[in-house]
Chain A
Amino acid sequence: MLFNSLVFFVFLIVVFTVYWLFRNQLKLQNVIVLVSSYVFYGWWDWRFLSLIVISSLADYFIGIWLSRTEEKTKRKLLLALSILVNIGILGFFKYFNFFVDSATDLLSQFGFQANPTSLRIILPVGISFYTFQTLSYSIDIYRRQIEPTKDIIAFFAFVSFFPQLVAGPIERARNLVPQFLKKRTFDQENASDGIRQMLWGFFKKIVIADNAAVYANEIFANYGDHTGGTLLLGAVLFGFQIYGDFSGYSDIAIGTARLFGFNLMQNFAFPYFSRDIAEFWRRWHISLSTWFRDYVYIPIGGSRVSRLKQIRNVFVIFLVSGFWHGANYTFIAWGAAHALLFVPLLVFNKNRRYTQHIENRELLRNPQIILKIFLTFLLVTVAWIFFRAQTISEAFEYIIKMIQTLFESPVKKFNISAQPVFFAIILMIILEWINRKEKHGLQIKNWPVVARWSVYVFIALFIFMYGKFEQTEFIYFAF
């Protein structure tokens, strides 16, 4: 089921009503969440519910067994089993063909002709998200950071919680599981802000991402026909498309969860206002970056090792993160590009320069911040080309052509400044800048009521008039 569909709208009303009818029955509420989550997922393809069940069952029991044993080897074996099940599912459904094709290519380089079995594997939606979520549960128990839950319904509901099931945020068990175990009350303030966040998410997805996609797709599909300015425009629009798409989804997910009394972690903290790449990665897809930080980067030494090893660790984390996004070398190249941009900051100890929000007075004192933001955005934009291109060579061709013909007059003019998407992007930048210290771009509850309601209605009208409702999928469903 897609958030941007009529059926989700009806689904949400029904689930919300039934859920709060049983406000004093925690167990029943969890059952409602579980059933509705399975309906939500099964709407796409019910067969793949079995994978969620397998993953949930495995980690539920592994969690309990882990807590019952003190034996180190046994604990390690149990953790390995959890990793095997989750990464096994993920590896098979997402990476099987990639590895087979890569091996075939490699063998052919040495003159061997292999005829591998090629399987027509469908990538189950959200598989990268829920496998990571359940994996974090077992790892946290292994590390004795949390206690396992014996409430199977609560655990299954945690794994499959519909707002964040298919595209995150990837929640940590230590944050979400306890919320399933304690009584939830309806908080008017929280729910109202949830609605605001959902509205903002829909605006970013339906108006910005889907409209920017029209131009970005056209430019990327025919990049050979365009000159540098247009190619740069294509990359910039893709940057807004993916931000609108993914952060929009996260906002809808977090907002929806708040309607049910749950608080999910912030997944995007206005990343395009970052002053360098390190700050960008503290603000972009936070749930994934912190996951890799906690479960990959720190275990391999993190920053408490020699400089050379630190650099190695940075590359590992970025390459793995890139590969997580898809079974294609372009994603690995994208990760590598970010690693290359990050390493100089690490080497010169400048990777933690910007951990605070930009204050207005700071901006007045130091206007070159704007330039830093612009440069960071430009670097991120160029890196997106690897993410969006079909092959690495295509990405390089795109970049080279973009640079070589940057000042040539365009072959085909995209009068983007006359398009609603341009206005929408400007509006998004303004509102997110104003609310950059908040959790989302529409957190305007302190504004005067008339101004606030005018903004809500205006944004809703904008969605109505310029939104694309052709049921476009969210980009991150593919990851």
Chain B
Amino acid sequence: MTRFLLKIALFWILLIGLIYSAAKVASRNAERKDYSNYNIEDNVIITPKNEHFDFLMLGLSHARNFSRHRNHQRVEEILNCRFLNYGKGGGDGNIANQYVFLNYFLSRGNTTNRIFYVLSMPMFFAERLDENAFTYQYEKLDPLFFYHVLTGPDVNKGEKLYTYVRSKFDKHWRMKYGPWSAKISDNVLEKFDTAQIINGFKRAYVNGLEFDTFEKNKKLMRKTIDLAQKKDIEVTFIVTPSTFGEWPGHEHVMEFMNDLKKEFGIEVYDFSRVYLHQNEYFYDHHHLNSDGVVKFTKEYLKPILNKQKSK
């Protein structure tokens, strides 16, 4: 029996060692390229060690837009500060993985004063976002990050970890030796189209508003704030503008935000309606384009930051 078990163990060690080494090599090759928050959608690769940032941005694509298309530098210039953006677009983001990224950021000895958490309503209600097995597929391989996912609050962890490692053998890693860079439009929305908005809602909420998922994600959001506050990080929630105003589920989330205000003393800003029907600031009905990001940063983000800094 002992010999049998030893052979099995040896087999697994050999296999895992081989997989890990190969994945590590693929990841190392990616590191050789000059990737930064503005030209890559991945977070592990751009997370430094022992550095300080004025703020951290979390959320889904609505957060990520503050870095895409070199917006990152524009925002840093306007705000005259340094920030790191962990927002994840393309259906890869959810509250659990934002928690994992925050935890990873802190465990690498980094610090920050505040978090701007950009709220996208589907992140609370769409279970498929939480279950997405491909959420970490473009992240470079790092045992510390693996550990954080393993011990973190993600659902469907086995598949996520498997995809995380296996993706290093996929074409884009093997052939280009680099992570994926999103090709996101930065045009101007041509016309306000109600049918398209309704279709968008349907795509975002395939099963309607899932209140079981909402309850789970409320707990996770509390856990995120708790983690931040333990490190003296101030958390501010922001709802970015859209052409149509509020998303379905908006009132439930804002109600929850009011509870959080009382529980944790956090700040919440709702800018859903500030650019209603102003197509020129959007590339679709709810994502700010570069002009929109610049305008929003100047008009709303800067005053918030200044106010908080002057406290």
Residues of A whose CB lies within 8 Å of any CB of B are 6, 20, 186, 188, 191-192, 195, 453, 456-457, 460-461, 464-465, 469-470
Contacts and interface: CB of A to CB of B under 8 A. Distances in A.
A58 B1 CA distance: 38
A188 B3 contact: yes
A457 B15 contact: yes
A186 B159 CA distance: 33
B14 A457 contact: yes
Interface string B1-16: 1011001100100110
Contact of B162 (A453, A456, A460, A469): A469
Nearest to A23: B1
The 3 A-B residue pairs with the shortest CB-CB distance in the complex, in nearest-first order: A6-B158, A188-B4, A465-B169
Contact of B4 (A6, A192, A461, A469): A192
Contact of B11 (A188, A456, A464, A470): A456
Interface in B159-205: 159, 162, 166, 169
Contacts of A460: 11, 15
Given A6-B158, A188-B3, A191-B4, A465 B15 contact: no
A461 B159 CA distance: 17
Nearest to A460: B15
B159 to A, nearest CB: 6
Contacts of A195: 8
Interface of B: 1, 3-4, 7-8, 11, 14-15, 18-19, 133, 158-159, 162, 166, 169
A181 to B, nearest CB: 23
B164 to A, nearest CB: 13
Contacts, number: 32
14 contacts: A20-B1, A186-B1, A188-B3, A188-B4, A191-B4, A192-B7, A457-B11, A457-B15, A457-B18, A460-B15, A464-B15, A465-B166, A469-B159, A469-B162
A453 B14 CA distance: 10
Contacts of A464: 15, 19, 166
Contacts of A453: 11, 14
B20 to A, nearest CB: 11
A205 B166 CA distance: 18
Nearest to B8: A195
A8 B91 CA distance: 29
A420 B205 CA distance: 35
B123 to A, nearest CB: 23
A87 to B, nearest CB: 40
Contacts of A457: 11, 14-15, 18
B18 A461 contact: yes
B202 to A, nearest CB: 24
A461 B15 contact: yes
A464 B4 CA distance: 23
Contacts of B8: 195
Contacts of A461: 15, 18-19
Contacts of A469: 159, 162
Nearest to A456: B11
Contacts of B7: 192
B178 to A, nearest CB: 19
Contacts of A191: 4
Contacts of A470: 133, 159
Nearest to B4: A188
A11 to B, nearest CB: 13
